């Protein structure tokens, strides 16, 4: 799932991530063509590192979402229990809070 997130981001025309990686690759190619092999190597490595970092960030994001989902499911079960105990208002408040907390934060790549 994390791989798909990054791949989709790289496909977007307006992606800052895509622009940054393409810029490093272009600079690296130009350096290579002029014989600046050490500079080209450093630029290729920088582009590669940006990719690795973004994939790691996406993995962490997905793990966080799954952990959050588990906690939300536990809280939902507790709300159901409260409802079954006749504590309708308390259950309603819990579900309203669950609804608010269920909205995921957007993934913003840092590179």
CA 57 to chain centre: 6
Tell whether pTM > 0.85: no
pLDDT mean across residues, the chain: 96
pLDDT in the model for residue 111: 85
DSSP SS3 for 86: coil
pLDDT (average), residues 13-41: 97
pLDDT in the model for residue 110: 93
Site of tokens 């450093």: 42
pLDDT at 33 over 90: yes
Neighbours of 85 (CB within 10 A): 10
> What pLDDT digit, counting tens, does each position of 42-67 carry?
999 999 999 999 999 999 999 999 99
> What pLDDT digit, counting tens, does each position of 58-100 carry?
999 999 999 999 999 999 999 999 999 999 999 999 999 999 9
Q: Where are the alpha helices (DSSP H) in the chain?
A: 2-11, 16-33, 37-84, 88-101
What residues have CB less than 8 Å from 91, skipping those under 6 apart?
79, 80, 82, 83
């Amino acid at each position: 799932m994390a791989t798909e997130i990054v791949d989709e981001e790289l496909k977007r025309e307006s992606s800052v991530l895509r622009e940054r990686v393409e810029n490093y690759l272009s600079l690296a190619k130009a350096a290579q063509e002029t014989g600046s092999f050490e500079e080209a190597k450093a630029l290729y490595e920088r582009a590669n590192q940006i990719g690795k970092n973004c994939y790691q960030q996406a993995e962490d994001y997905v793990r966080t979402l799954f952990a959050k989902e588990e906690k939300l499911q536990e809280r939902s079960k507790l709300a159901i229990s409260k409802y079954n105990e006749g504590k309708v208002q308390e259950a309603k408040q819990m579900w309203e809070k669950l609804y608010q907390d269920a909205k995921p934060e957007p993934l913003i790549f840092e590179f």
